[in-house]
Amino acid sequence: MRFQTKNVHFTTKMEADEMSKTKPIYQTSAFSFNDLEDMESFFEGKKSYLYTRVGNPNTDDLGKGVADLEGAEMGVASASGLSAILAGVLAVAKSGDHIIATEDLYGGTYQLFAHELKDFGISVSFVDCSSREEIEDAVRENTVLLYTESITNPLLRVEDLEGIVKIAATHGLKTMVDNTFATPYLIRPHESGADMVVHSATKYIAGHSDVSAGVVTGNQELMMKAKSKVANLGSNLGPFDGWLGCRGLKTLSLRMERQCANAEKLASTLKGHPLIKEVFYPENAAHGGNGAIVTIDLAEAMDVHDFSRKLDWVKIVPTLAGVETSITYPVGTSHRPVPKEMREKLGVTDSMIRISVGIEDAEDIIEVFEKALT
């Protein structure tokens, strides 16, 4: 099946006598059995479900749906994007191991890598992943993983994934790519050889700002380890959120097509505006488009707080990717955990706004930003 068809037909078929057209919500904490021998059949691999923390048809469908679109053997859904990242990391890294990560990444990931992983005995070096020399200089005997983002947050640098994978392979490292901004609609890192791909499914995968979820994909061996981490660390996704994520995923292609087109028009209009210092928007990111995020750095004459108040119907939020156009302030939200000196090195400024472009009429989106600027 082609991408748009797989995007709709990913849920597993039911085999009951009365089959619902849509997958029911298995809103249960556990599954019942006829007798003790019947329960034992789960542990023998003859039955799929025992306890929702360990697995549930709705959450499994979300993992499968993203894996199908990414071209992976298996996907594991979890309670958030960060929990999916942690599950993927712990599938390959243990106490005493070392990770290399791109320095221009999401602030929540930075917080996880720079602080929380220390308690697991895992160390992390942050490097400029556009520099082969910096990556190779950071490799140690105990390095096991190279981590990056396909389109970085918030400066929208498009990663050379094939180059990253080749460097990692040279040193025997696994690779993990956060594909949240691009989604498999635009970029599929497994096709470049990445071992694991992770999503904050809260964003474009679910797409409607009503779910908190994450998904990590990869081969079955790695994903069974990741699934064990999700279950044993208690970071499983609830059935209803899994069901909502699947419902949202089915419109990913339609939403991304519209949102990418709108973002391209907005970026093109804002470039060269006298009240904007710089517009960040990828070029040639993928055949299907360049993403639905536009980042702007306001000119010195502009007050970022005043600008944000003048955006009329555009919501100010700490996240992205819903069907409504919204903005966030990276310094105050996503990149708040990142040290100021690192933000300054990367170019994440106090006058920067990240725009998540929605599915509204492109002219209305352009008008509201032009009006706020003037």
Structure tokens at 10: 């990913």
| DSSP letter for each residue of 20-72 | -SSPPP---SB---SSHHHHHHHHTTS-S-SBTTT--HHHHHHHHHHHHHHT-
Catalytic pick among 178, 195, 241, 297: 178
Catalytic pick among 174, 203, 229, 247: 203
Find residue 99's DSSP bridge partners: 124, 145
Which residue, 350, 234, 270, 335, is CA-closest to 303? 350
Q: What are phi and psi of 328, to 5 degrees?
A: -140, 165
Structure tokens at 206: 């679910």
- Is 204 an active-site residue? no
- Name, in order, each residue with C-beta under 8 angstroms of 368's C-beta and a sequence gap of 6 or more: 311, 312, 313, 314, 325
Catalytic pick among 23, 61, 106, 329: 106
- Is 106 an active-site residue? yes
N-terminal to C-terminal alpha carbon distance within the chain: 48
- Is 53 an active-site residue? yes
Euclidean distance between CA atoms 104 and 102, whole angstroms: 6
What is residue 291's three-state secondary structure? coil
- Is 203 an active-site residue? yes
Q: What are phi and psi of 280, to 5 degrees?
A: -105, 120
| DSSP letter for each residue of 231-253 | HHTT-PPPHHHHHHHHHHHTTHH
Catalytic pick among 6, 47, 53, 258: 53
What is the set of active-site residues?
A: 53, 106, 178, 203
